[in-house]
Structure 1
Amino acid sequence: MVVPLLDLPLIHSGKVRELYELPADPQTGTERMLMVATDAVSAYDFVLTPGIPDKGAILTQMSQWWFEQLADLVPNHVLSTTLPAGVTDRVAGRAVVVEKLRMAPVECVARGYLTGSGWAEYQQSRTVCGIPLPDGLVDGDRLPEPIFTPATKAEQGEHDENITYEQMLQVTGPELGEQLRDLTLAIYRRAEGIARERGIILADTKVEFGLRPDGTIVLADEVLTPDSSRFWDAATWQPGERLDSFDKQFLRDWLVHESGWDRAGDQPPPPLPDEVVTATRRRYLDAYARLVGQSFTPTAPTARISPMATVVVDVMPKPEILDPQGKAVTGALTRLGFEGLTVRQGKRFEVQVEGEVTDEVLARIGEAAERLLANTVIEQYVVRVEEQQQ
């Protein structure tokens, strides 16, 4: 049973996102929806528990940043980031008002590197979605040119399946299909260059498009987030050997290799351990900080009353900064037999706040963190509110 987050007509509840009906714009007549990104995380078509704290807000705000970088290439579906009157504070920072569009019936994927399902197909046929590739490539290799590899848009609980461009044209028609391909590759090329300048390899990405009543193609849903893309650390990228990720691949790897879950069986995945949730969240935060150029700060309710709330400031070395203490701990763990664990050593500050935790209070704590708690030349910080158990 789906329990909606808001007291609005629920249009759709997906694995990680909810859509609510809003009245049409009174001036333009544009049909509108409220799109809310939850903290749920999915893998292999299962929604996992628990969620990743702040994930919905991180992805929403990262998408907003990318929409700005792509504004001259393609219009996007966001009408406003100001929430309608009466919408509960619990969706602040993770909800946007968007156009209601007729969605294209395919997933649009661009790949600049060989990995994932593309690597699996390549090992069998030296192709990806029917596109021939050179011999001798290994997992993680950069492709000679980015390629467009569409997929079916499966119902919830079903698997998306890669299809050829020719198969896609049978669904979309030649004119729309060509436009979707060209836009997808243009978005990938722009984003790949931006990410590379910030020390991140954009291996591949999935984008979705909708159409306005006049036929205009609009970029929709989320875009270029750790949920819809593969982000690798450019500093450690070694094709065939090491592909350190800033996305949920870490979580997938835990499910397949360490959790004991049988992917081919009929049982759902086990709950995520705290350390996997924490490590996954940190990867999302690292991706945000590198790409956007500043640390993510959760949006707090405008008036959140608590007898004694705890505000936590997490301080970590910036990803590009050498961390000798973390490196020493990583080496010690390896010697003790804990392979595959990389530690970066940070600091945690707890700030006790009496009464209401408001935007103003959090802004003051953020200023304190900027001036004293973190050395912002080499460190990044996150301010968040922790609920106290009664």
Structure 2
Amino acid sequence: MVTPHLDLPLLAEGKVRRLYRLPDQPGRLLMVATDRISAYDHVLTPDVPGKGAILTNMSLWWFDHLADIVDNHLVSLDVPAEVTGRAMVVEELDMFPVECVVRGYLTGSGWAEYQRSHCVCGIQLPDGLQDGSRLEEPIFTPAAKAPQGEHDENIDYLHLVKLVGPEVAAQLHDLSLRIYQRAEEIARERGIILADTKFEFGRRADGTIVLADEVLTPDSSRFWDAETWRPGQGADSFDKQYVRDWLANESGWDRASDQEPPALPDDVVTATSRRYEEAWARLTGGEGFVEEDAPAAPDVPDEPDSHSADRIGAMSRVVVEVMPKPEILDPQGKTITSVLARLGHDGLTVRQGKRFEITGEGLENRLDEISQVASELLANTVIESFDVHVED
């Protein structure tokens, strides 16, 4: 869906987010994540459906898991109905003009710089590393923010000190590394490599440094599949690297030209959407997802009797029993509801969990479709198998 513009004073609009003032809440802003996607400093078309909701919910989830390390800018989720699930009310902060990048693996612009000098942002690295190599210790490699449409500039630590002062530079360095180390451990436990990520921080009037903007999302991080990662050979990714690769290798677009990138094909949009959903599902188990327009599901008995497909009727429901891999606590959670409509299955209501229930009109004629729904929803590496059956 196209994220609506709100009748509020627009403070700023970036590649993905809009920032509004809240006239009745001094010192508070409304941050809205659209479904836009950017790559190589260009906003691409079309949007990736549901992406803004995933970015917002993933940031909320990480804020929760990092609260003992650093304060964050979240105030509330009491937002206009038009942007429920993709917006949050946040503190207005004095933002630092840097992106705090932490790399645990060598890739991207860091790999390009290493090939030239064996350094990244002034940090000397060992010989013999490959694209995708894990570093002995994570490194802090900040970047100076550039105007929209221009590329952020990697800087060394001394440049950071000139920008923000020695005391703040030390705090940003330490906080960034602590957050990365916590997040890297959490992701690794769930089969995901957090190759690198970037953080943004602001300052309250009392000097407190606060984590702001998005955090540890597929837009701000590189997430790799731990099972397929091999140094020098790449890995399956759960971020927008898929879009970057298509633009660079298949689209025919010349990055050095003045031309805008071509529109993303439907299959690239769909594949990108599923990668974002997979990142959410693997990391969080779907817990706590704030839906955009999730309808309330009807109450159903806890222990219904099972019946064969030929007994299905108007009061029946279809139950999908999910068999996840042992280490996955809740493989899809509330992501299922938001995914169904994007897959083109209208008129179905889902109750989420390891077992999810589907209700709707005319189910007796839709069992084949339900099986297809289950196959599409559960087509990821955290699911071992599933079973579809009917209950009254």
Q: Does structure 2 retain, via aligned residues, the 8 Å contact 1:45–1:159?
A: yes
* Of 41, 46, 52, the match for 1:50: 46
Question: Displacement, 1:81?
Answer: 1.2
Among 186, 190, 193, the residue aligned to 1:194: 186
Q: Could you tell me how far apart the structure 1 residues matched to 2:323 and 2:257 are?
A: 41
Q: How many residues align?
A: 327
Q: 1:128-186 CA distances to partner (integer Å, 9 max, x unpaired)?
A: 11100000000111101100000011111111010001111011100000000100000
Match of 1:368 in 2: 357
Work out whether 1:277 is the aligned partner of 2:283. Answer: no
Could you say if the C-alpha distance between residues 96 and 379 of structure 1 is closer, same or farther in structure 2, counting changes exceeding 3 Å? farther
State the shift of 1:5 in Å. Answer: 1.0
For 2:55, the aligned partner's letter is L
CA contact (8 A) 1:285 1:295 kept: no
The answer to whether structure 1 residue 40 and structure 2 residue 36 are counterparts is yes
1:291-330 aligned at under 5 Å gives the runs 291-294=283-286, 299-301=291-293
Q: Is 1:154 paired with 2:153? A: no
When normalised by structure 2's length, the TM-score is 0.77
Aligned pair partner of 1:350 in 323, 338, 345: 345
CA pair 214-73 structure 1, distance change in 2 beyond 3 A: same
Residues in 1 aligned to 2:246 and 2:287: alpha-carbon distance in whole angstroms: 26
| Alignment of 1:99 onto 2:85 | no
Alignment correspondent of 1:77: 73
Specify the SS of the correspondent of 2:31.
Answer: strand
Equivalent residue for 1:378?
384
- Report if aligned partners of 2:4, 2:82 keep a CA contact under 8 Å in 1: no
Q: What is the alpha-carbon distance in structure 2 between the residues aligned to residue 291 and residue 155 of structure 1? A: 32
Identity, % of aligned positions: 62
State how far apart, in whole Å, the 1-side matches of 2:181 and 2:20 are: 33
Tell me if structure 2 keeps the 8 A contact 1:288–1:296: no
CA contact (8 A) 2:83 2:292 kept: no
Seen in structure 2, the aligned counterparts of structure 1 residues 282 and 295 have a Cα distance that, compared at 3 Å, is farther
Taking a change above 3 Å as real, the CA distance of residues 297 and 173 of structure 1, as seen in their structure-2 partners, is: closer
How far apart are 1:350 and its partner, in Å?
A: 3.0
Q: Which amino acid aligns with 2:193?
A: I
Q: Tell me if structure 1 keeps the 8 A contact 2:121–2:154.
A: yes
Residue type of the alignment partner of 1:174: P
Q: Distance in 2 between matches of 1:257 and 1:243?
A: 17
Give 1:268 deviation, angstroms. Answer: 0.5
How far residue 126 of structure 1 moved from its aligned partner, in angstroms, is: 0.6
> Paired residue for 2:340?
none
What is the SS of the residue equivalent to 1:378? strand
Aligned amino acid, residue 350 of structure 1: H
The unaligned stretches of length 5 or more in structure 1 are 305-312, 322-347, 354-360, 381-390
For residues 188-337 of structure 1, the aligned pairs below 5 Å read 188-294=180-286, 299-301=291-293
Does the Cα contact within 8 Å between 1:112 and 1:142 map onto a contact in 2? yes
Q: 1:158-177 alignment to 2 at 5 Å?
A: 158-177=150-169
Q: Which amino acid aligns with 1:5?
A: H
Q: 8 Å contact 1:286–1:319 — kept in the other structure?
A: no
What one-letter code is carried by the residue in structure 2 that aligns with 1:90?
E
Contact (CA 8 Å) 1:233, 1:245: kept in 2 or not?
yes
Structure 1 residue 286: Cα displacement: 0.5
State the 1:368 CA deviation. 1.6
Deviations 1:253-292 (A, max 9, x none): 0000000000000100000000000010110000000000
Rounded Cα–Cα distance in structure 1 between residues aligned with 2:294 and 2:228: 41
Equivalent residues of 1:103, 1:211 under 8 A apart: yes
The answer to whether 1:60 aligns with 2:56 is yes
**Separation in 2, partners of 1:248, 1:318:** 29
1:302–1:122 distance in 2 versus 1, CA, 3 Å: closer
Q: Secondary structure of 1:74's partner? A: coil
Q: For the residues of structure 1 that align with 2:120 and 2:234, how far apart are their CA atoms?
A: 21
Assess, with a 3 A threshold, how the Cα gap between structure 1 residues 303 and 111 changes in structure 2: closer, same or farther: closer
Residues 22, 303 of structure 1: alpha-carbon distance in 2 compared, 3 angstrom cutoff:
farther
What is aligned with 2:335?
Answer: none
Q: 1:216 to 1:238 in 2, by over 3 A?
A: same
TM-score for the superposition, normalised by structure 1 = 0.78
